[in-house]
Amino acid sequence: MNADDLIALLRPHFTNAHIQAVNQGNKFEVLIVDDSFAGKRLVQRQQSVYAIVNPFIQSGQMHALTIHALTSDEYEAKNKAN
């Protein structure tokens, strides 16, 4: 699995999202910007992603995953702060 595979895996579940992913070996970092995260706590957002990738974690194809799950407003605010 590589970053493009991860994006392809997530895309059907987050159809309107902006998704970016990078990997170094089997360690991944993903950014998902989707307004479906509005009103959800961080752990709920992460759980929705882990539910999709869990088979790859269990198989060892993915060792670690860092998730940045933001709404559009949160993403824009974060970028303005930087």
Over residues 36-78, the pLDDT tens digits come to 999 999 999 999 999 999 999 999 999 999 999 999 999 999 8
Burial of residue 42 (CB within 10 Å: 0-12, 13-18, 19+) is exposed
What domain range includes position 67? 3-81
What is the per-residue pLDDT for 1?
92
Q: Is the pLDDT of residue 28 over 90?
A: yes
Cα distance between residue 14 and residue 8, in whole Å? 10
Tally of domains within the chain: 1
CATH number of the domain within which 68 lies:
3.30.300.90
How confident is residue 81, by pLDDT bands cut at 50, 70 and 90?
Answer: confident
